[in-house]
Structure 1
Amino acid sequence: MSVQETATPTESFFRLLDDYDHRIRPNFNGAPVNVTCDIFVQSMGSVKETTMDYIINVFFRQRWNDPRLSFKQFNETLTLDASVVGKIWVPDVFFVNEKGANFHDVTTANRMLRVDPTGTILYSTRLTLTLACPMNLYRFPMDRQQCGLKMESYGKTEADIMLHWKWTRPVEFDASVELPQFYVENIRTNRTVQNYNTGQYTRLTATFDLQRQMGFYLIQVYIPTMLIVILSWVSFWINIEAAPARVALGITTVLTMTTQGSAQGGDVKVSYVKAIDIWLAVCLLFVFAALIEFAAVNFMSRQDKNRDDRRRKEKEEADKNENGKVIPPPKEDYATLRQRTWLHHVKNVSLKEEVPSSLDIKSEKCSSQQRPPPERERNKYMDRAKNLDRLSRGLFPLGFFLFNLMYWNAYLLFL
């Protein structure tokens, strides 16, 4: 029996490596190598809006055929050590949107190489990738994102390598994979050809359709701010004369809304307006309008007092002028003074006899018209202020309800 007949499949395979040149692809100067890829997602998370990327842990698998490594005299598949990877030709596939990556070497290099008798090779490696994911945050936090995983051959054009997705189940997820803020709605795979100055390259793309779970934002943002807006309406039921209570309530709600907006709206910094920004801005506008409403009510209720104060000041000024010092007239001789006194007496007597009694009644009526208005007229400003409070009790809730109707329909249904 010859040595060739007694050799094991492993020995036969390593004998093939003696004359193997890993620098040359299979079928050199012939048809391109067809490489079939698939991935198994072990974990996925840390989808960050601030850096617009996500982290994914995958088993990346590639299959191709290398006739130089076939050992058809044996019907057995070999599972080889990771050290053999450096001795054979492997596709130069890289991740286009990768921002960072690392292999796993605990406790040994997490790589697997499997060769069947026909020379078909299965190469699997475990990777943790940080991949770029450009995001559109106009609808944040009710947004849907599409994060991709893109693969190409770095130096081999389509004349050398043709990449393909596995025909069945090209992307698989571990059953325990859960994202803290997103739900994976769908996984789509695509194969395209990219044109560069150096040639045409095959690109494989796996797209993860992610829908944000907004439970956190409902509990932390939407419900608290809604309650703050409703709390600001309590001011409309407080007595107008209780100015300190209404002012304290209004300022407290405004400051609380400002703090809430700064804490939640500033987490994601983009140059455009997000859905959560519109919500926080409108809620702040409502609580600020409630504070301005009390200022208007307070001003209207004090109009009668201001009017009485003006009248009192005018009366005091008039009394001061009447009781002021009178400049004495120039001195006259006794005859002239006696004649002036006699003429004045005669004139007064004649006027009293000629003036009818009806003029006295009219003068009394005119004086009565100049008196201060009655209590009913003085309270008209207070009534107007109370009516404004009553009107606000209905208009503010109605306006906030209409805003909620438009907001949730716009972002959950139509956009």
Structure 2
Amino acid sequence: MLYPNGTVWVNYRVRVKGPCIMDLSNFPMDVQTCNLIYESFNYNNQEVRMRWINSNPVYAVSEILLPDFILINITATRRMEKYPAGMWDELHVNLTFERRCIWYFMQAYVPTYLTIFISWVSFSLGPRAIPARTMLGVNALLAMIFQFGNIMRNLPRVSYIKAIDIWMLVSMTFIFSSLIELAIIGSKVKDMENSQRPKKPHCKN
């Protein structure tokens, strides 16, 4: 639409599928910001000027329901980018998402906590119940390793440590420490039994 003062009104409806670079260091309690940029392809700001129509130009028509994220904020800004061919106006839309972490708590944090608690039950069995304590500790460690592998299989591969990695490694350290304690106690009990065993008398000819 062309107005008498030279203003051109152009209306487009587009469906965009854009990439979003995520930082998963705090996964699964992370907050992600995705950036969408609008700019003219052929014309710099000497020919086309772009600006938002008002102070709140971007909004969601209806509540957006995503399985893994909650849309918590939408911000719109205007910037000017310098290219070799001149200056271009850019309209930025920042979409801030917060991850729904209840699934990860139920599938990762609660089971690992219970596994650690089960491994600590062996402390109440007494120092002489070595077979039962060994079975509890080894089974708890194997269950933790299986849970860790199952969780990591469903996550994106990144080269840095995530919060859930630290949780799982610390959890396995607790269970492994209980096995170390079991080995130390078993050695002490064996030494105590050997010291209390009556010595055979030596026969002199």
2:82 and 2:171 map into 1 onto residues whose CA distance is: 50
Residues 1:137 and 2:27 are matched in the alignment: no
Letter in 2 for 1:200: M
**Aligned equivalent of 2:180, options 272, 283, 292:** 292
2:171 and 2:79 map into 1 onto residues whose CA distance is: 47
Gaps of 5+ in 1: 1-64, 71-117, 324-415
CA offset digits 1:73-103 (Å, max 9, x no partner) = xxxxxxxxxxxxxxxxxxxxxxxxxxxxxxx
Residues 1:123 and 2:59 are matched in the alignment: no
CA 176–185 in structure 1, closer or farther in 2 if over 3 Å, else same: closer
Is contact 2:59-2:74 (8 Å) kept?
no
Offset at 1:169? 4.0
**Aligned equivalent of 1:154, options 37, 41, 46:** 41
Gaps of 5+ in 2: none
Q: 1:208 is matched with which residue?
A: 95
Q: 1:73 is matched with which residue?
A: none
Residues 1:245 and 2:132 are matched in the alignment: yes
Letter in 2 for 1:223: V
Q: 2:159 is matched with which residue?
A: 271
- The secondary structure found in structure 2 opposite 1:200 is strand
Offset at 1:242? 2.2
Is contact 1:163-1:203 (8 Å) kept?
yes
Letter in 1 for 2:107: Q
Offset at 1:148? 1.1
CA offset digits 1:261-298 (Å, max 9, x no partner) = 12213523222211111111111111111111111111
Residues 1:66 and 2:66 are matched in the alignment: no
Letter in 2 for 1:217: Y
CA-atom RMSD, angstroms? 2.2
Is contact 2:78-2:91 (8 Å) kept?
yes
Percent of residue pairs identical: 31
Is contact 2:56-2:76 (8 Å) kept?
no
Report how many residues are paired.
203
Q: 2:114 is matched with which residue?
A: 227
Is contact 1:189-1:207 (8 Å) kept?
yes
Residues 1:171 and 2:58 are matched in the alignment: yes
2:184 and 2:17 map into 1 onto residues whose CA distance is: 56
Offset at 1:168? 5.4
- The secondary structure found in structure 2 opposite 1:250 is helix
* Structure richer in helix, relative to its length: 1
- The secondary structure found in structure 2 opposite 1:124 is coil
> Runs of at least 4 residues of structure 1 off by over 3 A?
118-122, 307-312
Say which one has the larger Rg: 1
Offset at 1:305? 2.7
Offset at 1:207? 0.2
1:175-214 → structure 2 map (5 Å cutoff): 175-214=62-101
Offset at 1:172? 2.3
Per the normalisation by structure 2, the TM-score is 0.89
Higher relative contact order (CA closer than 8 Å, sequence separation 6+): 2
Offset at 1:309? 6.5
- The secondary structure found in structure 2 opposite 1:189 is strand
